[in-house]
Structure 1
């Protein structure tokens, strides 16, 4: 947590020193991308949403929502594993991220949840397991809060930002606003460096003594972040840090699994995973000892098996 805060406060100092069409819910082809039409879906405001749809179409459906500032590529290990087990796996790039449209407006949790709803509706997804990582966990919770669980059979929240990240009077153990202000300043000053700092430090736990840092994972994080919209990722900082998901979590009425590393320096487990499981009726939690935030990569084998065990029973 301290290391996470230091990175963003350092980014704040760097910032000070630098100068310098409403559309139908049908699959559409992005106008400037030569891809099969099935790879894009139009959001309600016409923003193209890129998606992947892998595995047998008759398989049970698992839908993934990714973290900030990443895209659906961050789920590749889980998607490949489950698709090879006979599941149909779907993931979209959030607006402003990856290959989806870079809308100027709508970079907030309500819109993210509505976009997820459009993806599920357009692909006629039912009885799906929704899996949300970090910001994606908030997206999944807000989707249920706004649209209910009629298309959902189970939910998995991985390193999720729920129920509220920001420190407030009602959430005294949350993350101070200065940390997120540091993120914003670092983003406007040199977001390329910011993403390198996050990935090489607290995200994967590479700042811990004895950690074996992977340059490839750092590069992958950086590349996904730089592919995203500057405006979209900037706005999303407020979305994932200040959105209160308490009432959304209370509305979840399907089996729910919370998975979180107990050494998560990005989304501390005490005010996230452990608080979330208390708000969702019947939810269970699996804690990964010593695990960082980015467990979709650092603990992918265990996570894959835990997902399979939960989904298949």
Structure 2
């Protein structure tokens, strides 16, 4: 198992597969998951000749269960620690959900030459919570409910989310994959409750507007229009308007966890963008 250590002593687990001279693709997972959530994409791109990297965010998966630093500034600094340790150049950074926010926050601050392209999938930016500046956002009570459910019974909450809205399994006629549900639960329960709790604030209340405005590399924004976790109308179209070089790809009827439910659709589109 591979780890790198940050300045505050946090050990970050990461996977690094493929030829070292191949173009690197770095995957950033959503809440409350781990690098394992990218299996379908990492195997696909490995087979297509790329070097694929994914880390467990601090407090998640196999990384240190920190009780501090569970916010976007530190998350982005942690990504920089991984990319510095591996000396990644010309990398494509792909983030899902919270990981999309992490990508925006990191890419906006990355050292020259580190990043060639970015992808935001079902991503939190520009900002999720409702406010005077973001009237289309979700009320803070939604996220307060997440926190209350996590504290009350994290194990049950981490079954309810994937069984319901995350993969659209609560839609009429949906075919539930028990393996997918249990894998989501496994990943979530590997992390720390404190980090999971804090991360709800990080993904819901961080305003990524200035990050998006400052990103200059080509950026693909992918989003299912039946996303019940990060509502489409308040995310993807607004993000694309803020990006200098953004492209929007909308998937009719697809859920938040589209990378898992529909890799046969998502992966070729990612490959086409990276090769373009």
**Structure 1 partner of 2:228:** 265
Give the superposition deviation at 1:148: 5.1
What's the TM-score once normalised by structure 2's chain length?
0.98
1:289 aligns to 2:225 (yes or no): no
Give the superposition deviation at 1:57: 1.4
**Structure 1 partner of 2:205:** 242
**Structure 2 partner of 1:165:** 128
Distance 2:141 2:113 in 1: 39
Distance 2:183 2:206 in 1: 27
Question: In the alignment, which of 133, 152, 163 is matched to residue 96 of structure 2?
Answer: 133
Question: In the alignment, which of 116, 121, 143 is matched to residue 180 of structure 1?
Answer: 143
**Structure 1 partner of 2:84:** 121
1:218 aligns to 2:181 (yes or no): yes
Distance 1:289 1:65 in 2: 24
Distance 1:121 1:140 in 2: 15
Distance 1:166 1:60 in 2: 36
Distance 1:191 1:307 in 2: 33
Give the superposition deviation at 1:147: 3.2
| SS of corresponding position for 1:258 | strand
**Structure 2 partner of 1:189:** 152
Contact 1:265 / 1:292 at 8 angstroms: preserved in 2?
A: yes
| SS of corresponding position for 1:173 | coil
| SS of corresponding position for 1:146 | coil
**Structure 2 partner of 1:51:** 14
Distance 1:57 1:148 in 2: 20
Distance 2:245 2:89 in 1: 22
Give the superposition deviation at 1:245: 0.1
- Runs of 5+ consecutive residues of structure 1 not aligned to the other structure: 1-34
Give the superposition deviation at 1:44: 1.6
Contact 1:154 / 1:256 at 8 angstroms: preserved in 2?
A: yes
Distance 2:104 2:245 in 1: 15
Distance 1:44 1:309 in 2: 37
Deviations 1:52-97 (A, max 9, x none): 0011211111001000000000001100000111000000000000
Give the superposition deviation at 1:146: 3.1
Contact 1:44 / 1:115 at 8 angstroms: preserved in 2?
A: no
Q: Which has the larger radius of gyration?
A: 1
Q: How many residues align?
A: 276
What's the TM-score once normalised by structure 1's chain length?
0.87
Q: How does 1:1-313 map to 2 (within 5 A)?
A: 35=1, 39-147=2-110, 150-313=113-276
Distance 2:110 2:163 in 1: 37
Deviations 1:202-252 (A, max 9, x none): 000000011001111110001100111111100000000000000000010
Question: What is the Cα-based RMSD across aligned positions, in Å?
Answer: 0.9
- Runs of 5+ consecutive residues of structure 2 not aligned to the other structure: none
Contact 1:62 / 1:131 at 8 angstroms: preserved in 2?
A: yes
| SS of corresponding position for 1:147 | coil
Contact 1:167 / 1:175 at 8 angstroms: preserved in 2?
A: yes
